[in-house]
Homo-oligomer: A and B are copies of this chain.
Amino acid sequence: MKTKYRTHTCGELRITDVGKEVKLCGWIQKIRLMGEQLTFIDLRDRYGITQLVFHSDIVNTSLYSREGVLQAYGVVIERESKNKNIATGDIEIDITEIKILNESITPPFTIEDETDGGDELRMKYRYLDLRRSIVRKNLELRHRLAIETRNYLDKQHFLEVETPVLIKSTPEGARDFVVPSRMHEGEFYALPQSPQTFKQLLMVSGFDRYYQIVKCFRDEDLRADRQPEFTQIDCEMSFVEQEDILNTFEGLVKHLFKTVKGIDIPELSRMTYADAMKYYGNDKPDTRFEMKFVELNEVVKGKAFKVFDDAELVVGICAKGAAEYTRKQLDELTEFVKRPQIGATGLIYARHNADGTIKSSVDKFYNEEELKKWSATFNSQPGDLILILAGTADKARKALSELRLEMGTRLGLRDKNKFSCLWVIDFPLLEWNDGDPNVLASLAGRWHAKHHPFTSPKPEDIDLLNSNPGTVRANAYDMVINGVEIGGGSIRIHNKDLQAKMFEILGFSKEEAQNQFGFLMNAFEYGAPPHGGLAFGFDRLCSLFGGSDGIRDFIAFPKNNAGRDVMIDSPSAISDEQLNELHILVKKENHA
């Protein structure tokens, strides 16, 4: 770390260095003038903070300001009052000469872990935001996770192969970003939504084990945790069954927890998609806590309570130790489930009191004997709170899933330092697209691949492809950690005819399939091996390891929710000269 400018970093000197002549460089974190005699400066760099001390006759500190850049010469001395909070806290530098390398005007927000800068300001001045050690540490964590991922996969004989970024538009999933070609008039490249077809071609090529930490692109209407460009750990293996892939990547995640966080995680449990939906209402259940769904149709129907009698599904959860929730708290929960994005019409509850009695919000319809049946079904104990929703099965489960997570949060069951990892398996192969805003409108009213069009149906379900496509299960799997889908993949189709059949089910004409994916189907004619793989969302993996809900602070230069980089002000207009060379015109739209 020694350079022509410095002998040490600001995080390096210790009591054993006392007496050494040193040269440090860094930013002014803080200046303290102790009367006329003494000045203290906290000098900061990536590696730490070192205290400089000097008599004020050495320099005119009026020129100094927070975030200015200094080069300081001096001798390491022992501090009188040591600071146990920083690694260099035993020493300080007795300054003999100091040089301003660059000045700073006053930053728009404080460069501290707890800053006064709002989100917009932080993004506009991201280069200052990144000075905050709390943000920089996120990116150091990201670096460490990437290095350890590569170490593990390299040891497992995976080859990192770079696949192209300028590819071909195949907008069957989300929308593509496209790039007009200057050399080929009227033609466009597209940016990859994933390297899916290329990694499969590498398997056809006999590469056997491939990975890549790679940027991918989706032109989506953005949600809070999505970015138009994002990073995947993308992997593929040949001559494998699902079991091989699950074991290999369970190994990766264990390695990452062990080496990066020092945590030994237990063997991952496995849950079918059907069970995840039945017991958690969600294909990415947060299994840090139980609170499984209990279905009540058998128990509650036929007692003249219309809400339950009319419902396709009555389903509830038992919140341990929440019986003493106040009326106000219960009203909050009712408001919570009635919000439009959750969409329940109401919430039924039953308190299993400490004295053993059970009181529900629908006592009019259910006597104590009935409520005892409820209790038995939920296996509730004195002190527990039963919460019940009713409606169509899909809606009731979705709403109850949100309520379950809310109760988990309220009861402190979602500790960010606790990790619960599992595989969700046996996903459905297809889902019906009845108008997804992130997909071209022309693709609505069709079957849509739940994972992607290259995913293999389970051999035992292939016969259902014609008769009942919606029930066909795929050899597809997701890794879920703390309720977040961290990765997912599938065993692929490696047979040309089955792949053609799949495109047909997805509504591709033969010409469309040949035009967009002909190269892959042709490749399958030349000895494609059985293969499969998966991809991890690297941004999310980083934020999970960093104990955060959002991915944005784990990306050095993220875009905002409108897909805009407010720091560099992009996207932006380009010159007519550029447009001309690219053979395109901007369409002036009539917004009237």
**A residues touching B (Cβ–Cβ < 8 Å)?**
1, 3-6, 9, 25-28, 44-47, 67-69, 101-105, 107, 125-128, 130-131, 136, 139-140, 142-143, 146-147, 150, 154, 157, 159-169, 171, 175-191, 197-198, 201-202, 204-208, 215, 217, 219, 221, 228-229, 231, 237-241, 243-244, 440-442, 494-495, 519, 523-530, 555-557, 559, 562-565, 567-575, 577-578, 580-587, 589
In the complex the two chains form, is B69's CB within 8 Å of A528's CB? yes
- Distance in angstroms from A1 CB to nearest chain B CB is 6
Most buried by B among A165, A228, A528, A568: A568
In Å, the complex CA distance between A159 and B494 comes to: 39
Residue on B with the closest CB to A71? B239
- A208-B45, A527-B102, A577-B442 are known contacts. Are A568 and B178 too (CB-CB below 8 A)? no
Would A3 and B244 count as touching, CB distance under 8 A? yes
Instruction: Find chain B residues with CB under 8 A from A26 CB.
Output: 206
11 residue pairs from A and B, CB less than 8 Å apart: A102-B528, A104-B526, A142-B161, A166-B228, A166-B559, A168-B572, A176-B578, A178-B180, A188-B574, A584-B584, A585-B587
Contact of A568 among B237, B244, B519 (CB under 8 A): B519
- Give Cα A140 to B569, complex, Å: 40
Nearest Cβ in chain B — how far from A84, in angstroms? 24
CB of A27 within 8 A of CB of B527, answer: yes
Contact of A208 among B46, B183, B198, B555 (CB under 8 A): B46
- Given A136-B206, A187-B572, A564-B184, is A165 in contact with B165 using a C-beta cutoff of 8 Å? yes
> Which one of A3, A127, A130, A159 has the greatest number of beta carbons of chain B within 10 Å?
A127
B557:A206 contact, CB within 8 angstroms? no
Q: Which residue of B lies closest to A583 (CB)?
A: B587
* Distance, CA A519 to CA B587, complexed state (A): 29
Is the CB–CB distance between B568 and A4 below 8 Å?
Answer: no
Query: A197: nearest residue on chain B (CB-CB)?
Result: B568
Alpha-carbon separation in the docked complex, A519 to B185 (Å): 34
Q: A512 vs B584: C-alpha distance in the bound complex, in angstroms?
A: 23
Given contacts A183-B563, A526-B107, A528-B102, contact A519 B244 (CB under 8 A): no
* Pairwise interchain contact B231-A162, C-beta atoms closer than 8 A: yes
**Which chain B positions have C-beta within 8 A of A169?**
572, 574, 578
Measured in the bound complex, the distance between the Cα atoms of B210 and A136 in whole Å is 12
Cβ of A147 and Cβ of B143 under 8 Å apart?
no
Kindly state the separation between the CA atoms of A157 and B519 in the bound complex, as whole angstroms. 43
* Nearest B residue to A247, CB-CB: B3
Q: Which residues from B are CB-within-8-Å of A183?
A: 221, 562-563
Partner of A5, one of B139, B241, B585: B241
Instruction: Tell me the minimal C-beta distance from A420 to chain B in angstroms.
Output: 27
Residues of B within 8 A of A45 (CB): 206, 208
A319 CB to closest chain B CB, in angstroms?
41
Shortest C-beta distance, A433 to chain B (Å), equals 15
Instruction: Report the separation of the CA atoms of residues A569 and B168 in the bound assembly, to the nearest whole angstrom.
Output: 7
Task: Give CA–CA (A565, B127) in the complex, Å.
Answer: 37
